[in-house]
């Protein structure tokens, strides 16, 4: 049994003749016995650019924010996605990757941000970010401390958490530890 989530913003945009979608949908399908029954649908107020699995929940990059959805069981036995918490502060959150309680966001212009999900508080907070302006085209988590980014001028770069920084300001910045001009556009790792 596999659960598959997709977003359908392109379809809605063309139907509504909008430059930027004012609404979108997350569709959740169950892959079972060569069939794809729809098990949940969630409408959003803006475009969903990226989805990822996260500790039994569903983080979604929706325009300027990361929205975390949790699964709720209805009285009739069906499931629905319900908004749990979110994090604002991005220009355009395009990419989301997860590992443990961490969420890595690739923003259109604000490079890479590292968010942490605080279970007890039911909140997402920014832990650290890259303060360089990078026009992101992909992001990936290499290990607990190092993250890989691709930008639209055909470059790859790695950043590292500065856990040993002496001040909160130093710990709040991702440190660039590698840069490579690839010469090719990367949109997925």
Is 2-181 CATH 2.130.10.10?
yes
User: Terminus-to-terminus CA distance in the chain, angstroms?
Assistant: 25
Residue 93's pLDDT is what? 95
CA distances from 104 to 25, 59, 71, 72, 108 (A): 22, 11, 21, 25, 13
Provide the residue-wise pLDDT of the chain in tens; the chain has 189 residues: 455 556 665 444 445 566 777 889 999 888 888 888 888 899 999 999 999 999 989 999 999 999 999 999 888 878 899 999 999 999 999 999 999 999 999 999 999 999 999 999 999 999 999 999 999 999 999 999 999 999 999 999 999 998 888 888 888 899 999 999 999 999 999
CA dist 129 → 47, 55, 151 (Å) = 23, 22, 16
Count Cα neighbours of 178 within 13 Å in the Cβ-side half-sphere.
Answer: 12
Question: Which residue bears the tokens 């040993």?
Answer: 164
Buried b (16+ CB within 10 A) or exposed e, 130-154: beeebbbbbbbbeeeebbbbbbeee
CB distance 83 to 77 below 8 Å: no
Q: What is the pLDDT of residue 2?
A: 54
Q: Is the CA virtual torsion 123, 61, 91, 141 positive or negative? A: positive
Residues 6+ apart with CB under 8 A from 157: 134, 148, 149, 151, 176, 178, 179, 180
pLDDT of amino acid 172:
87
Confidence at residue 123, expressed as pLDDT on a 0 to 100 scale:
96
- Count of residues in the chain: 189
- What is the rounded distance in angstroms from the CA atom of residue 170 to the CA atom of residue 69? 31
What is the C-alpha separation between 40 and 17, in angstroms, rounded? Answer: 26
């Amino acid at each position: 049994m596999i659960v598959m989530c997709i977003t359908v913003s392109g379809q809605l945009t063309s139907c509504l003749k909008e430059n930027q979608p004012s609404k979108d949908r997350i569709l959740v399908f169950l892959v079972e016995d060569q069939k794809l029954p729809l098990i949940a649908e969630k409408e959003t107020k803006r475009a969903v650019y990226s989805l990822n699995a996260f500790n039994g929940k569903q983080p979604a990059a929706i325009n300027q924010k990361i929205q975390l959805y949790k699964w709720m069981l209805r009285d009739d036995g069906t499931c629905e996605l319900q908004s749990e918490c979110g994090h604002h502060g991005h220009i355009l959150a395009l990419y989301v990757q997860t590992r443990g309680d961490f969420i890595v966001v690739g923003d259109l212009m604000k490079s890479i941000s590292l968010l942490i999900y605080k279970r007890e508080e039911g909140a997402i907070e920014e832990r650290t970010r890259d303060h360089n302006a990078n026009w992101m085209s992909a992001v990936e988590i290499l290990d607990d401390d190092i993250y890989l980014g691709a930008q639209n001028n055909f470059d790859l770069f790695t950043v590292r958490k500065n856990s040993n920084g002496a001040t909160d300001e130093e710990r709040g910045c991702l440190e660039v530890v590698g840069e490579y001009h690839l010469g090719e556009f990367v949109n997925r790792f």
